[in-house]
Homo-oligomer: A and B are copies of this chain.
Amino acid sequence: MTNQIELAIQDDYPDDFAHCYGCGRLNQDGYQFRTGWDGGKTLTMYTPKPEHTAIPGFVYGGLIASLIDCHGTGSASLALHRKNGHEPGDGAEPPRFVTASLQVDFMKPTPQDVTLRAVGVPEEIHPKKFQVHTEVYAGDTVCAKAVVTAAVMPASFTSKK
């Protein structure tokens, strides 16, 4: 089982797009999620902090939704980057995605003190849109199942800057 993501897509985002609270490597207050390939699937790992609780002993659903959100956009970026002939770390700038929709089914209470593994299968549904089917594991248990629809970041997102 992979316990470390060596080449994450977020490592290659340009600095301007590296401030996301979920997955921005330059956001010191955020989660700094990192997403890479693990075989033919995508993987994001995170160990929730003690404060990320729903009730004592169980992880807060909003943290799980956040993990799924950034895992979704990161996975879509990995998939389109690969389609374009690139892999993380090869020096090419990856495409950035935004979340169009997020569907999460919470299957089981998620125990704390466990590293969560979001495992995804990205599927192209349009040249600029991917669906990422994700399962979040705590150990061998699937605690959440999700579908993220991610779209290539529109120009309106960057025009404000």
Whether the pair A54, B20 counts as a contact (CB closer than 8 A) is yes
Interface bracket on A: 35 or more
Partner of A19, one of B16, B53, B101, B102: B53
Partner of A106, one of B27, B58, B100, B105: B100
Known: A21-B54, A65-B62. A101 touches B109 (CB 8 A): no
CB distance from A53 to the nearest CB of B (A): 6
Interface string of A77-107 (1 = CB under 8 A from B): 0000000000000000000001111111110
Query: Which of A19, A20, A61 has the most chain B CB atoms inside 10 A of its CB?
Result: A61
Whether the pair A66, B57 counts as a contact (CB closer than 8 A) is no
Main secondary structure of the interface of A (DSSP, over half): mixed
Bound CA span A43–B98, Å: 26
Known: A63-B21, A65-B65, A70-B62. A55 touches B104 (CB 8 A): no
**Using Cβ atoms and an 8 Å threshold, which residues of chain B touch A60?**
20-22, 30, 66
Known: A27-B53, A56-B161. A99 touches B109 (CB 8 A): no
Which stretch in A3-11, A116-124, A125-133, A152-160 binds the other chain?
A152-160
Whether the pair A19, B103 counts as a contact (CB closer than 8 A) is no
What 5 new A-B contacts, CB under 8 Å, besides A65-B66, A100-B106, A101-B104? A57-B161, A65-B65, A102-B103, A102-B104, A103-B104
A-B residue pairs in contact (CB < 8 Å), sample of 5: A21-B52, A30-B51, A61-B69, A62-B70, A98-B106
